[in-house]
């Protein structure tokens, strides 16, 4: 009874924290997305910066969270740090979502706004509502992603460990104490709460795209118009603090040596993680295509698939871990923990390809078997497959920082999380840099090429 109450309180604490982070995220997404849409200069700077930021694993933000918030504001710093970390696992797709939906708004709407409206009304009644569909959809994704990393946000370790009261830290602590009852109650409660949230709130937002009342939209318009300057101010303050701390601890020979060692270890551990990520992508692609083929055949399956996906995405790896650990160990366990994320992204995107499969042609000419897969299904869904795999690629690398240590296997994710635990800032920095570079470099080469190939196909 007592533990059930604790679990419920912990769950509420986590949800409140995530709710606060979500509100901040949506506000920032609108402000930055609109500024990028409005100004080519902002767009040119923000796009590559966001591209890199979305590839930085959550542990990469630990030093920032710790030094800026906890050192500066001892009283409330830990809470702020947690909200900040949750923000980093929610923000990037939402900013891109707002930016892209404004960017793809037909030109006539922008002209209509210029001809007939002022900026406040344009924002409140044209631009903010136009991005809502994408915002709601990305809220769903962001929430799931933030929950996946909830233990990392609530248990901040960098030498010293800071644990905040919440469902993520509660489950971790319970496992550490071998208090399996509490841990399982926590896991079930977390899964159920997310499921309820999906069924009663998030699914409706995505399906019905409800419009906020006019007065709220017009208030939001004021923020969207000026918010970018607030965000810029915040970023500037952040950078100033980081530089200040960096200058206080000048780079000495031992630090350089630590960094060097960190880089070498990171590079040595990367191939293991790379192999795991590629396996996850392969399995995700195969599962995604099979699911697409099934849904094309029986469209009624789509709802069921979507519900299963959201259940899958609302269960964080650390919550799955005790369940799977009793069946599999080591390498297999790492893959089992990584696959859900990859599958969710790939299948989600591939399902959107359903309408692009020329079903009547297939029926009229009785195309089936291998020919159907190779010459109809895969080409028709290729752009969606690329988008899904691209997202899964970045997501899988970042997920290894949680999955690899749980499975106790060698890899970049394990190295990074152990560096954080030891308080080895140089090692953490080096491994974050290596991971981010790998993700961004492959995005810019392989995925970009595939994207271009897909675009050529479609037009």
Partner 1 sequence: MALLEAEKIKKTYGRVVVFNDLSLAVEQGEFLALLGPSGCGKSTLLRMFAGLEKPDEGVVKFRGEPITGPRREIALMFQSPTLLPWKTAMDNVALPLVARGVSWKEAREAAARYLAFVGLSGFEEAYPSQLSGGMQQRVALARALAVEPEVLLLDEPFSALDPLTAESLRAELVRLWHDNLTTVHTVVIVTHSVDEAVYVANRVVVLSTRPAKVVADVRIDLPYPRNRKSPDFQRYLDQVYSYI
Q: For the window 120-149, what string marks contact with partner 1 as x by the rule CB under 8 A?
A: -x---xx--x--x-----------------
User: Does 379 interact with partner 1 (rule: CB under 8 A)?
Assistant: no
Other residues' Cβ atoms within 10 Å of the Cβ of residue 205: 16
Nearer to partner 1, 74 or 106 (CB): 106
Sole window of 60-68, 117-125, 377-385, 413-421 interacting with partner 1 (rule: CB under 8 A)? 117-125
Indicate the residue among 129 and 379 with the shorter CB distance to partner 1: 129
Closest approach of partner 1 to the CB of residue 327, in Å: 48
Nearer to partner 1 by Cβ, of 63 and 212: the residue is 212
Residue among 112 and 365 whose Cβ is closer to partner 1: 112
Exactly one of 109, 165, 184, 451 binds partner 1 (CB under 8 A); which one? Answer: 109
Task: Tell me which stretch binds partner 1 (CB under 8 A): 23-31, 119-127, 171-179, 370-378.
Answer: 119-127
355: helix, strand or coil: helix
**Closest approach of partner 1 to the CB of residue 452, in Å:** 22
Residue 404 CA to residue 408 CA, distance in Å, equals: 6
* 34 vs 87 by CB, closer to partner 1: 34
Q: Please name the residue ranges forming H helices in 177-300.
A: 180-197, 203-208, 214-248, 253-297
DSSP letters for 100-146 = HHHHTS-HHHHHHHHHH--HHHHIIIIIHHHHHHHHHHHHHHHHHHH
DSSP state, residue 353: G
Give yes or no for residue 112 binding partner 1 (CB under 8 A).
yes
Burial 358-371 (b: 16+ CB within 10 A, else e): eeeebeeeeeeeee
105 interacts with partner 1 by CB under 8 A: no
Q: Of 415, 414, 416, 392, whose CA–CA distance to 405 is shortest?
A: 414
CA distances from 360 to 227, 365, 367, 441 (A): 49, 8, 10, 40
Give per-residue burial for 221-232: e unless 16+ CB within 10 Å, then b: bebbbebbeeee
Helix segments in 354-407, DSSP class H: 359-364, 369-372, 378-407
CA distances for 227 relative to 133, 231, 426, angstroms: 21, 6, 35
Q: Are 122 and 24 in contact (CB under 8 A)?
A: no
For the CB of residue 204, give the shortest distance to partner 1 in the complex, in Å.
16
Looking at the Cβ atoms of 133 and 163, the one nearer to partner 1 is 133
d(CA 335, CA 145): 18
Candidates 48, 116, 374, 444; binder of partner 1 (CB under 8 A) is: 116
Nearer to partner 1, 212 or 322 (CB): 212
d(CA 349, CA 456): 19
Is there binding between residue 115 and partner 1 (CB under 8 A)?
Answer: yes
The reply to whether 163 sits near partner 1 by the rule CB under 8 A is: no
**How many Å is the maximal CA-CA distance in the chain?**
73
Regarding 106 and contact with partner 1 (CB under 8 A), the answer is: yes
Chain positions 427 to 446 lying near partner 1, rule: CB under 8 A, are none
Among 111, 207, 408, 452, binds partner 1 (CB under 8 A): 111
> What would the x/- binding string for partner 1 be over residues 208 to 247, using CB under 8 A?
-x-x--x---------------------------------
Judged by CB under 8 A, the stretch of 108-116, 161-169, 368-376, 380-388 that binds partner 1 is 108-116
- For the bound state, the minimum distance from the C-beta of residue 210 to partner 1, rounded and expressed in Å, comes to 9
Virtual CA dihedral for 66, 68, 72, 75, nearest 10 degrees? -50
β-strand partners of 161: 157
Name the residue nearer to partner 1 (CB basis): 114 or 363. Answer: 114
What's the rounded Cα separation, in Å, for the pair 361 and 372?
A: 11
Residue 118, interface with partner 1 (CB under 8 A)? Answer: yes
Task: Indicate whether 206 belongs to the interface with partner 1 (CB under 8 A).
Answer: no
Considering only residues 393-412, where is the footprint of partner 1 by CB under 8 A? none
Nearer to partner 1 by Cβ, of 124 and 341: the residue is: 124
Interface residues toward partner 1, by CB under 8 A: 106, 108-109, 111-112, 114-118, 121, 125-126, 129, 132, 209, 211, 214
């Amino acid at each position: 009874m007592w533990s059930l109450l604790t679990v419920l309180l912990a769950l509420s604490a986590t949800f409140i924290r995530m709710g606060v982070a979500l509100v901040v995220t949506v506000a920032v997404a609108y402000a930055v997305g609109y500024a990028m849409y409005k100004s080519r200069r902002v767009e040119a700077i923000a796009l590559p910066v966001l591209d890199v930021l979305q590839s930085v694993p959550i542990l990469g933000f630990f030093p920032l969270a710790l030094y800026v918030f906890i050192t500066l504001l001892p009283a409330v710093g830990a809470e702020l740090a947690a909200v900040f970390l949750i923000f980093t696992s929610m923000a990037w797709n939402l900013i891109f979502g707002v930016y892209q939906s404004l960017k793809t708004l037909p030109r006539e709407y922008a002209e209509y706004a210029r001809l007939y409206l002022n900026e406040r009304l344009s924002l409140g009644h044209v631009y903010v509502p136009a991005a809502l569909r994408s915002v709601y959809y990305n809220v769903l994704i962001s929430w799931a992603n933030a929950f996946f990393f909830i233990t990392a946000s609530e248990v901040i370790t960098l030498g010293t460990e800071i644990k905040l009261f919440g469902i993520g830290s509660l489950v971790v602590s319970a496992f550490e104490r071998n208090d399996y009852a509490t841990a399982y109650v926590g896991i079930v409660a977390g899964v159920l709460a997310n499921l309820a949230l999906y069924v009663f709130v998030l699914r409706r937002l995505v399906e019905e795209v409800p419009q906020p009342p006019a007065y709220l939209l017009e208030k939001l318009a004021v923020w969207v118009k000026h918010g970018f300057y607030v965000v810029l101010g915040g970023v500037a303050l952040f950078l100033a603090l980081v530089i200040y701390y960096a200058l206080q601890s000048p780079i000495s020979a031992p630090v350089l040596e630590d960094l060097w060692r960190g880089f070498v270890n990171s590079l040595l551990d990367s191939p293991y993680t790379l192999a795991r990520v590629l396996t996850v992508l392969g399995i995700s692609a195969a599962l995604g295509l099979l699911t697409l083929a099934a849904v094309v055949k029986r469209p009624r399956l789509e709802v069921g698939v979507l519900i299963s996906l959201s259940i899958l995405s609302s269960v964080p790896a650390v919550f799955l871990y005790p369940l799977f650990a009793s069946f599999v160990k080591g390498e297999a366990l790492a893959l089992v923990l990584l696959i859900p994320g990859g599958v969710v992204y790939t299948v989600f995107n591939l399902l959107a390809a359903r309408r692009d499969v020329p079903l009547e042609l297939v029926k009229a000419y009785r195309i089936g078997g291998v020919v159907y897969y190779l010459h109809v299904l895969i080409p028709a869904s290729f752009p969606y497959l690329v988008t899904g795999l691209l997202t899964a690629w970045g997501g899988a690398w970042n997920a290894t920082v949680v999955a690899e240590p749980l499975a106790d296997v060698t890899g970049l994710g394990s190295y990074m999380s152990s560096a954080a635990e030891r308080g080895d800032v140089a090692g953490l920095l080096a491994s974050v840099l290596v991971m981010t570079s790998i993700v961004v470099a492959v995005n810019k080469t392989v995925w970009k090429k595939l994207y271009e190939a897909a675009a050529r196909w479609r037009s």
